Amino acid sequence: MADTLSALRLLMASHNPPLDALVVPSEDYHQSEYVSARDKRREFVSGFTGSAGLALITQKQALLWTDGRYFLQAIQQLSDQWKLMRIGEDPSEDLWMADNLPADAAVGVDPWCVSVDTAQKWIHTFSKKQQKLVQTSTNLVDEVWKNRPPPEINPVIIHPLEYAGRSVEDKLKTLRAKLSREKAHGLIVVGLDEVAWLYNIRGSDVSYCPVVHAFAIVTLNSAFFYVEKRKVSDEVRLYMEKNGIEVRDYSAVITDVSSLASNQLNMSSSSIDIAGSNGTKVESQSSGLIWADPAQCCYALYSKLNSDEVLLQQSPLALAKALKNSVELDGLKNAHIRDGAAVVQYLVWLDKQLQETYGASGYFLEGDGVRKPKPSDSEKLTEVSVSDKLEAFRASKKHFRGLSFPTISSVGPNAAIIHYGPQAETCAELDPESMYLFDSGAQYLDGTTDITRTVHFGLPSAHEKACYTAVLKGHITLGNARFPNGTNGQQLDILARVPLWKDGLDYLHGTGHGIGSFLNVHEGPHLISFRPRARNVPLQASMTVTDEPGYYEDGAFGIRLENVLIVKNADTKFNFGDKGYLSFEHITWAPYQRKLINTSLLTSEELDWLNSYHSKCRDILAPYLDESEKAWLNKATEPIPA
């Protein structure tokens, strides 16, 4: 790590102009949350493996900013060469640079890896001391990364209409209508999931996310797909041509954005013929604005545009993608049923293994269990070995295409690390006397899943039960909410926290995020969170969102409970203000552990909901389980007496 920092500082000093600081973001050219191995530059320079963070290197210091999900992880992973900067507690990176770098300082960044929003924020902050943001012509990290993984050449896959629910033709027609209304003649599509959704394609270029490294440009009368052409089969090329989309090289996007800015971007003659036979207009484009999402469009592309002719506004595809059609909603429901069955099968297996291997009292009984001899290395259960078993249960299910994110399988103190990532060499052995939290999900052809459950196979303490029950109460309160149209996720976030706040408890992450339809597990533009950006987008019927409050006690345990919900219209007695009201439908199915619940703390309404939910779990999952698994689930979901 020290050698990497030294090599970067030499490059910074020899750069023209010399750089006083170098910013290394987490993101790739598409501002992705999860990136491919060759794009993990921030991880390479810092050693911190969390999905969110920003590294800053000066000639004398190295700092890393990350959020509350990762504070404990960062402390463990950063060497003494690095200083952790806690987002929300320490100064933001731009204010730190403005205050700690000299006047006229030059701050370097690869303009492909930073969004327009972020770059403009930095430029504004730097202007107070005549500091400047310098766009490096190459990525300096790539120059010192000797064993950087090569690009993977994975095929583009057509996502069938039976799962997508809407044709490319329909999506393009709707998009062009939006462009016309905004007096824009073109849209630059940068987000990988937006490109995949718009063109009904999928891929495997990024672990856990079924996307393709690609850009798109759509104008009033043309459409382009920028991708490494070796990924495009003859079938996909014909599919694109049929839909009036021209395939161009990934690297051509920079010159085509310049052409778009000067109103010179045209389709090739072959594409025009095919598009024309489809009835698509192909005459020369009219002038107008160019639409670019400032949170997703990289600064490198924006720099090729005339700033006074750009519509910097959230992508019109973000909301369109979030509002699931009926086919996508049915697919998500079906995927979650199969996924719930896998989770129950896992719990049955894990319960049996912990009893047989460690003498645990098990999922149902509260006791000390029977002490057994220490298991051999081949017999012992670890955070990684059990999560591999969970993946195997999922892999046996119809339409399985992989996990939707790295499984968080965490026991005892590790569960207090919110986004803990167990590694085979260093992970903990399971302990029947400690809480076990698993947050996991899968990609299925018909939907993406994300579920968290927290369990105990020994004797939980009264404190652990009280904390679990407070989390459960918040989870139920949010899931049962009814609220008027126009309500945003920041307004709802408090519902999940109030039961925790009563005991002086809280958690340092948001409460809910959207989820894709065989796409990214974290999907905007909406979210349920205390963070200000949760105010930007009201929840609407047919959105998906998670409900995942938690509580984490450093060095002791962590608790989180998570279901995926669909936002739906609510049938209310009255309709004040003629707004219409919304509510949630749970589509995740797996039991909550009864022995962790202090039922005396539940209201009658909460108890009724819990018993009703458990009854549905039994009915919905039974067809996917064998007799012993059904018997286990029946016991796990027995009604709790009032």
Considering the domain architecture, whether residues 533 and 467 belong to the same structural domain is answered as yes
What would the two tokens of residue 411 be?
A: 């026991």
pLDDT digits (tens, 9 = 90+) for 449-483: 999 999 999 999 999 999 999 999 999 999 999 99
Domain boundary (112, 144, 176) is at 144
Alpha-carbon distance of 226 to 530, in angstroms, equals 37
Cα–Cα nearest to 121, from 91, 93, 88: 93
Domain count, the chain: 3
Considering the domain architecture, whether residues 554 and 463 belong to the same structural domain is answered as yes
Q: Is residue 321 assigned to a domain?
A: no
Considering the domain architecture, whether residues 100 and 163 belong to the same structural domain is answered as no
Alpha-carbon distance of 331 to 334, in angstroms, equals 5
Considering the domain architecture, whether residues 459 and 434 belong to the same structural domain is answered as yes
At 47, the amino acid letter reads: G
Taking residues 277-283, what's their average pLDDT? 41
Inform me whether the pLDDT recorded for 183 exceeds 50: yes
CB-based contact 534:516 (threshold 8 Å): no
Average pLDDT of the chain to the nearest whole number? 95
Domain boundary (94, 115, 144) is at 144
Considering the domain architecture, whether residues 97 and 196 belong to the same structural domain is answered as no
Please tell me the pTM assigned to this model: 0.94
Domain boundary (122, 144, 166) is at 144
Q: Is residue 149 assigned to a domain?
A: no
What would the two tokens of residue 506 be?
A: 């809280």
Alpha helices for 526-642 (secondary structure H):
604-621, 627-636
Of 100-114, 283-297, 397-411, 608-622, the poorest mean pLDDT is in 283-297
Under the banding of pLDDT at 50, 70 and 90, the label for residue 269 is low
Q: Is residue 517 assigned to a domain?
A: yes
Cis peptide before 17 (omega within 30 of 0): yes
Considering the domain architecture, whether residues 94 and 222 belong to the same structural domain is answered as no
- What is the chain's Cα-based Rg? 26
Considering the domain architecture, whether residues 88 and 131 belong to the same structural domain is answered as yes
Q: Report the pLDDT value the prediction gives residue 373, as an integer from 0 to 100.
A: 86
Q: Is residue 279 assigned to a domain?
A: no
Considering the domain architecture, whether residues 175 and 212 belong to the same structural domain is answered as yes
Q: Is residue 47 assigned to a domain?
A: yes
Q: Report the pLDDT value the prediction gives residue 378, as an integer from 0 to 100.
A: 85
Cα–Cα nearest to 400, from 436, 369, 444, 434: 444
Q: CA of 3: how far to CAs of 44, 49, 147, in Å?
A: 12, 19, 14
- Sorted by sequence, the CB contacts under 8 Å of residue 491 that are 6+ apart come out as 483, 535
Taking residues 402-431, what's their average pLDDT? 95
pLDDT digits (tens, 9 = 90+) for 290-345: 999 999 999 999 999 999 999 999 999 999 999 999 999 999 999 999 999 999 99
User: In 471-617, at which residue ranges do the beta strands (DSSP E only) sit?
Assistant: 483-484, 512-514, 523-528, 544-547, 550-553, 557-560, 563-569, 581-586
pLDDT digits (tens, 9 = 90+) for 111-127: 999 999 999 999 999 99
Q: Is residue 565 assigned to a domain?
A: yes
The conformation of residue 568, written as its DSSP 8-state character, comes to E
Q: Is residue 86 assigned to a domain?
A: yes
Q: CA of 220: how far to CAs of 184, 185, 225, 281, 480, in Å?
A: 8, 6, 15, 8, 43
pLDDT digits (tens, 9 = 90+) for 15-30: 999 999 999 999 999 9
What is the CATH number for 245? 3.40.350.10
Q: Report the pLDDT value the prediction gives residue 230, as an integer from 0 to 100.
A: 97
**Which H/E stretch holds residue 223?**
strand 223-227
pLDDT digits (tens, 9 = 90+) for 184-216: 999 999 999 999 999 999 999 999 999 999 999
Q: Report the pLDDT value the prediction gives residue 286, as an integer from 0 to 100.
A: 53
CB-based contact 433:459 (threshold 8 Å): yes
Taking residues 345-359, what's their average pLDDT? 97
Q: Report the pLDDT value the prediction gives residue 1, as an integer from 0 to 100.
A: 63
Considering the domain architecture, whether residues 538 and 453 belong to the same structural domain is answered as yes
Considering the domain architecture, whether residues 36 and 130 belong to the same structural domain is answered as yes
The b/e string for 577-596 (b: 16+ C-beta within 10 A; e otherwise) is: eeeebbbbebbbbbbbbbbb
What is the CATH number for 389? 3.90.230.10
Alpha-carbon distance of 105 to 19, in angstroms, equals 7
Q: What are the φ/ψ torsions at residue 402 (nearest 5 degrees)?
A: 125, 175
Place of tokens 């945003």: 488
Q: Is residue 280 assigned to a domain?
A: no
What would the two tokens of residue 78 be?
A: 């950063």
Cα–Cα nearest to 231, from 203, 198, 273, 264: 203
Taking residues 250-263, what's their average pLDDT? 96
Q: Bin 466: left if φ > 0, else alpha if -120 < ψ < 50, else beta.
A: alpha
Q: Report the pLDDT value the prediction gives residue 162, as an integer from 0 to 100.
A: 98
Considering the domain architecture, whether residues 398 and 532 belong to the same structural domain is answered as yes
List, edge to edge, every strand of the sheet that includes 483-484.
Answer: 483-484, 581-586, 563-569, 544-547
Considering the domain architecture, whether residues 362 and 485 belong to the same structural domain is answered as yes
Alpha-carbon distance of 598 to 608, in angstroms, equals 15
pLDDT digits (tens, 9 = 90+) for 537-566: 999 999 999 999 999 999 999 999 999 999
Alpha-carbon distance of 301 to 281, in angstroms, equals 26
Of 17-21, 96-100, 324-328, 374-378, the poorest mean pLDDT is in 374-378
Alpha-carbon distance of 374 to 380, in angstroms, equals 8
**Which H/E stretch holds residue 259?**
helix 253-261
At 267, the amino acid letter reads: M
Alpha-carbon distance of 192 to 206, in angstroms, equals 10
Range of the domain at 185: 157-266+287-315
At 321, the amino acid letter reads: K
